[in-house]
Amino acid sequence: MAGTNDVILLSQYSGNPNIGIQLKYIDNYSTNKIIVKNGTAFRVLQNAGTHETLNFNSSYYYKGGGSPVSGGPVKANAEFIFTYP
């Protein structure tokens, strides 16, 4: 995937350093996709209703370069902090 160098969650397992997970937020109203970047805040809703569903997707990918990819586990963790008035 192009443009993934600084927006990936690297696998916590050894063996395939160029394999990772990319998180995307899909806006409920415009279907815009926002690539989630570590430490970067972004607005998910302008005006929240009583109940809202937030759509996040993840993609597994090969970043390129390095050693060939072999089978094995991939594990990545992310923590989301939501701030609301």
pTM (2 d.p.): 0.61
- Give the residue numbers spanning the domain of 16: 1-85
Number of independent structural domains in the chain: 1
For residue 61, list its beta bridge partners.
Answer: 20
Is 17 within 8 Å of 10 (Cβ atoms)?
yes
- Residue-wise pLDDT tens digits, 12-34: 777 677 777 788 888 877 777 88
Q: What is the mean pLDDT of the chain?
A: 74
pLDDT tens readout for residues 23-73: 888 887 777 788 887 777 878 877 777 788 888 888 877 777 777 777 777
Comparing 3-7, 74-78, 79-83, which segment has the lowest mean pLDDT? 3-7
pLDDT of residue 7: 58
E strand spans, the chain: 9-10, 19-26, 33-35, 55-62
